[in-house]
């Protein structure tokens, strides 16, 4: 359910489906082999190809769920999964899957993000592109100002650096055959973001982006601009110098701020990175405990991503689109009086 989308935005289900195709399981040997068509159905909020301003309901049906695959693990807490923490919070859990800790929930984020992306593209000219920047120590060389989604999607690993992509695919394949998993970093750029989005105290743009990324399953870290590398510089080295722009607004000569200063966008491209841990469920014997507090050894089975990074790319883009669309609409509501 998507609420708050303005009326009269042209929207077709095919535009939502395009992003769902990039997220769906079973799309390559590097992902879980669960086969889901992930066909979106718009139930309400759109009429004759335009949004109505009312909530937009989208339905995607599961077709290849296998609850019985979790039978042997129903009383065992999977290491680094949400089994124990969910039970600690609620005193009950649905053991026949990951529940709300499953990446399956991200299908709603991607469907909503497709609408937000359409709004931003149509009204602000904003373009959002994410890619796999790193898997373990394999780091890509990518020009964030030139990279395109088409180039990203040419790679099984969703990495637009051909050399790094080949090594990533080889590494994921090797670990998949061992029954293990890998983590890495997804980078994202948003070009054409207007200056002035975000709030100076609470709801800072970079804080909301961080919250959006860290709300994703398996995401363990967030950076924007120079991130942690900025601590190696002095203030004079880290500052982004300015020059007058053609429209009278300042233009940054560098972008170590990542497009955000003081919690507010400055008109430069947003540059962020999200770190994802290795998939928790692996087919290798691990020490854990069961619901009765007994030490047990778990060797999990099932269809799990050996590396979540390739499928995380459209999810990261969607969350960035949702945050930017929210702030764009808020700014439109705020900035209504003539400026001096």
Q: Is residue 51 part of a domain?
A: no
DSSP string, 170-230: HHHHHHHHHT--B-EEEEEEEESPPTT-S-SBTB-HHHHHHHHHHTSTTEEEEEETTGGGG
Q: Is residue 208 part of a domain?
A: yes
DSSP string, 7-24: TT-B--HHHHHHHHHHH-
Q: Is residue 238 part of a domain?
A: yes
Whose structure tokens read 């029954």? Answer: 179
Q: Which domain holds residue 243?
A: 69-334
Q: Is residue 18 part of a domain?
A: no
Q: How is the chain split among helix, strand and coil, in percent rounded to 5?
A: 35, 20, 45
- Residue of 194, 192, 147 whose CA lies nearest to 313: 147
**CA atoms of 218 and 308, how far apart (whole Å):** 8
Report yes or no: 328 and 194 within 8 Å, Cβ to Cβ: yes
pLDDT of the chain along its 340 residues, tens only? Answer: 999 999 999 999 999 999 999 987 666 666 665 666 789 999 999 999 999 999 999 999 887 666 666 677 788 898 898 999 999 999 998 877 767 787 788 999 999 999 999 999 999 999 999 999 999 999 999 999 999 999 999 999 999 999 999 999 999 999 988 989 999 999 999 999 999 999 999 999 999 999 999 999 999 999 999 999 999 999 999 999 999 998 888 999 999 999 999 999 999 999 999 999 998 888 888 899 999 999 999 887 666 788 999 999 999 999 999 999 999 999 999 998 998 8
**CA atoms of 149 and 142, how far apart (whole Å):** 12
Q: Is residue 142 part of a domain?
A: yes
Q: Is residue 62 part of a domain?
A: no
Question: What CATH number does the domain containing 125 carry?
Answer: 3.60.150.10
The per-residue pLDDT for 216 is 96
State the pTM of this model: 0.94
The strand pairing partners of 143, in sequence order, are none
pLDDT tens digits, one per residue of 109-121:
999 999 999 999 9
Q: How many domains does the chain fold into?
A: 1
Q: Is residue 219 part of a domain?
A: yes
**CA atoms of 53 and 15, how far apart (whole Å):** 18
Q: Is residue 25 part of a domain?
A: no
Report yes or no: 12 and 50 within 8 Å, Cβ to Cβ: no
């Amino acid at each position: 359910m998507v609420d708050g989308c303005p009326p009269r935005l042209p929207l077709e289900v095919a535009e939502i489906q395009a992003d769902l195709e990039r997220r769906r399981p079973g799309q390559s040997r590097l992902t879980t082999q669960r086969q889901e068509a992930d066909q979106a159905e718009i139930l309400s909020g759109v009429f004759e190809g335009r949004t109505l301003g009312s909530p937009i309901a989208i339905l995607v049906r599961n077709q290849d769920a296998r609850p019985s695959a979790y039978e042997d693990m129903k009383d065992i807490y999977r290491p680094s999964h949400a089994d124990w923490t969910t039970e600690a919070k609620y005193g009950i859990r649905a053991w026949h899957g990951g529940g709300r800790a499953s990446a399956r929930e991200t299908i709603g984020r991607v469907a909503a993000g497709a609408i937000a992306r359409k709004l931003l593209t149509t009204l602000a000219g904003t373009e959002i592109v994410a890619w796999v920047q790193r898997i373990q120590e394999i780091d890509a060389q990518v020009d964030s100002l030139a990279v395109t989604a088409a180039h990203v999607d040419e790679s099984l690993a969703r990495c637009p650096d051909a050399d790094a992509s080949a090594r990533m695919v080889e590494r994921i394949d090797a670990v998949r055959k061992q029954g293990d998993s890998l983590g890495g970093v997804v980078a994202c750029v948003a070009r054409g973001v207007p200056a002035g989005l975000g709030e100076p105290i609470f709801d800072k743009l970079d804080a909301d982006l961080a919250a959006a990324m860290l709300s994703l399953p398996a995401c363990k870290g967030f950076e924007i601009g120079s991130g942690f590398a900025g601590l190696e510089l002095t203030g004079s080295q880290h500052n982004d110098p300015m020059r007058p722009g053609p429209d009278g607004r300042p233009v940054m000569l560098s972008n170590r701020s990542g497009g955000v200063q003081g919690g507010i966008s400055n008109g430069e491209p947003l540059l962020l990175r999200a770190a994802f841990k290795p998939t928790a469920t692996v087919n290798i014997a691990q020490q854990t405990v069961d619901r009765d507090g007994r030490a047990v050894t778990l060797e999990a089975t099932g269809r799990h991503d050996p590396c979540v990074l390739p499928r995380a790319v459209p999810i990261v883009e969607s969350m960035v689109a949702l945050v930017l669309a929210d702030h764009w609409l808020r700014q439109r509501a705020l900035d209504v009086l003539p400026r001096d």
